[in-house]
Structure 1
Amino acid sequence: MTTHVDEKIYGKVMELHLNGTLTKEDYARFVPDTEELIRQHDKIRMLVIMDDFHGWDAGALWEDIKWDAKHFNHVERIAIVGDERWQKWMTGFCQPFTTATVQYFERDHLPEARAWLGD
């Protein structure tokens, strides 16, 4: 299965749409944009929308760990939107790796997720 990552930036909010399995190459595409956003705003917010998302391959997981360690204090809020139980579980799993407030939203609550990030 191929991965598809779309990103959009609204002020200090980065919106990532993920499907498939995330790879190291995917990180190479969107990490520079997150780092530029951090340079501009110091603290950012992220909306991660998972649609038929299957997780990370080993290379992507390593890139994610490195990014989390480097930007531990640069993310204020993370809204995770999905429709599977493991995605909701992942919200709690992520909490020790960031100072951000992390909240899970069901797919049909996407407008609420966007509003929460804008508060």
Structure 2
Amino acid sequence: MLQILATTQKNIIATRANDILGISDYEKIHPLIHNIINNGKKVRWYFEMDDCLISNTVGFWEDGIIELNYGKMKFTHSEDIEKIAIVGEMKWRDWMLSVMKPFSEATIRYFSLAEKEQAMEWIINQEELV
């Protein structure tokens, strides 16, 4: 499940994934994306992954990479995202960077769970694109 965090504001969408994600989770953030782009801004996404519920799965996405390959999760706003901070266990780093890259032309940085504060600072404090 994808939780929308209280730090979601202005052009920042802050989320925490604490289970396998699917279409309904994407649908939670889709209206937030539209609100941001309708105000002429680009999205900055803080994406934190809580590793406690994931054990022997192929990742955080429902059906793993197969779902992505078969197009069930079409992401139509790749050009509307400016930055993505992914926060999670380092064992997910390479996999998540490869999964997120096709969804966005954004600058993507991966942070460990111990670096949550730095990740949020990176999302908030960088100069906004006009």
TM-score, length-scaled by structure 2: 0.73
Equivalents in 2 of 1:80, 1:116: separation in Å? 11
Q: Indicate conservation of the 8 Å contact 1:27/1:60, yes or no.
A: no
Give the direction of change, closer, same or farther, for the CA distance of 1:102–1:47 in structure 2 (3 Å limit): same
Q: Map 1:21-100 onto structure 2 (within 5 A).
A: 21-52=20-51, 53=54, 54-58=59-63, 61=68, 62-64=71-73, 66-67=74-75, 70-85=76-91, 87-93=92-98, 94-100=100-106
Residue 92 (structure 1) shift = 3.2
Which range moved further: 26-35 or 6-15? Answer: 26-35
Give the direction of change, closer, same or farther, for the CA distance of 1:48–1:63 in structure 2 (3 Å limit): farther
Q: Indicate conservation of the 8 Å contact 2:83/2:106, yes or no.
A: yes
Structure 1: unaligned runs, 5 residues or longer: none
Percent identical across equivalent pairs?
Answer: 26
Which range moved further: 42-51 or 27-36? Answer: 27-36
Higher helix share: 1
Residue 101 (structure 1) shift = 0.4
Greater C-alpha radius of gyration: 2
Which range moved further: 19-28 or 53-62? Answer: 53-62
Structure 2: unaligned runs, 5 residues or longer: none
- Equivalent residue for 1:14? 13
Equivalents in 1 of 2:27, 2:118: separation in Å? 30
Which range moved further: 48-57 or 88-97? Answer: 88-97
Say whether residues 1:102 and 2:99 are aligned partners: no
Equivalents in 2 of 1:48, 1:5: separation in Å? 9
Residue 96 (structure 1) shift = 4.3
